[in-house]
Amino acid sequence: MTTRDTVLEVDGLSVGFGPQAPNALPPVIEDVSFSVRRGEIVCLVGESSSGKSVTSLALMGLLPPSARITGEIMLHGREAGEPSLDLLQLSRRARNRIRGHRISMVFQDPMNCLDPIFSIGNQLVEILRWHNALSRVEAWRQGIGYLHAVGINQPDVCMKRMPHELSGGMRQRVMIAMALAGKPELLIADEPTTALDVTVQAQVLDLLLRLRTQTGMSVIFITHNLAVASRIADRIIVMYAGQIVENSSAESFFTRPAMPYSRALLDALPTVDMIRQGQKRLKTISGNVPGLAERPAGCRFFPRCVHGVAAMCDSGSPVLQSAGADHLVRCRRWEEISA
């Protein structure tokens, strides 16, 4: 991979919280490595406490100062000659310049993401003027343009509205418009549709796809729902208990999921065929995602895995291994299982 078509490379990222070394708790995410290509939509999929949100906040540099972060987050320049930056080595000021400008983020709950005491226009203009040297009038004009771009019908009316006057879907669009105001190369969307109704969710997903096509930006889309992921993803990264357990192109993932956990996730979703055929029972796995202190020593999925073999899986963390072209999986038995 040349630098030019990769936006972001994360290498060995670990994040821990709480007390220092002697009685430290295990890191919340461990050895997370992946890369994002230009114009690619990467879906980070996992259940609660899998570490997907911590990963995204680490990329943004929005973790509390008490977090212990190690590893490398390389942000590559657009042109071949442009230097690559390791975000974790940057000063706070330099980091700030990247935020919103090269990497931006939208969050899950659009109800609380807008400041209730300022109008939409006020907040959008604030961000536009921060990123670009613009006059107030010009920024207002551009703000209307951005709202139009995210599919808001009467952007000039919307600019004058207060946040509470808008519906959830509208607010999420405004959020996306604000995230785009700095013309970022990479947009991180943390469960942006979870709080929305299905019909609105579909619209927002379509919007993200369209914006990707128009602007060529990359998107890291975080979700717990594989069906949502399948709707927009180019690449699927599955996280479980703080680790990446599968990283694959969407096509390969949905045709040949290699990790038993990924299969379990897919099985847990009611499919259209099941509904059509009146089939009532889902295939489930027992147990829960292990808590931070209860993570097993070997494969973290082993206690819940139907294919687990004690001698093979219960000791020594398995590494990510290739399971075909552009397909990595953290399972020692993937070949036998697939067969």
On whether the CB atoms of residues 302 and 308 are closer than 8 A, the answer is yes
Q: Between residues 200 and 312, which has the closer beta carbon with respect to another protein?
A: 200
Least Å distance, CB 265 to another protein, is: 6
Residue whose CB is less far from another protein, 80 or 305: 305
The CA distance from 268 to 260, in Å, is 12
Q: Min. distance of Cβ 155 from another protein in angstroms?
A: 8
Q: Shortest distance, CB of residue 82 to another protein, whole angstroms?
A: 19
Residue by residue, DSSP assigns 231-273 as HH-SEEEEEETTEEEEEEEHHHHHHS--SHHHHHHHHTSPPHH
Phi-psi domain of 278 (left: phi exceeds 0; alpha: psi -120 through 50; beta: other): left
Q: Pick the closer one to another protein by CB: 294 or 335.
A: 294
Ramachandran angles phi, psi of 196, nearest 5°: -105, 160
Nearer to another protein, 293 or 310 (CB): 293
Q: One-letter amino acid identity for 31?
A: D
Q: How many CB atoms lie within 10 A of CB 51?
A: 25
Measured from the CB of residue 2, what is the shortest distance to another protein in angstroms? Answer: 27
Residue 205 C-beta: closest distance to another protein, Å: 6
What are 258's two structure tokens? 């290699």
Identify which of residues 24 and 297 has a Cβ nearer to another protein in the complex. Answer: 24
Which two tokens mark 43? 């879906």
Residue 243, token pair as written in the block:
């680790």
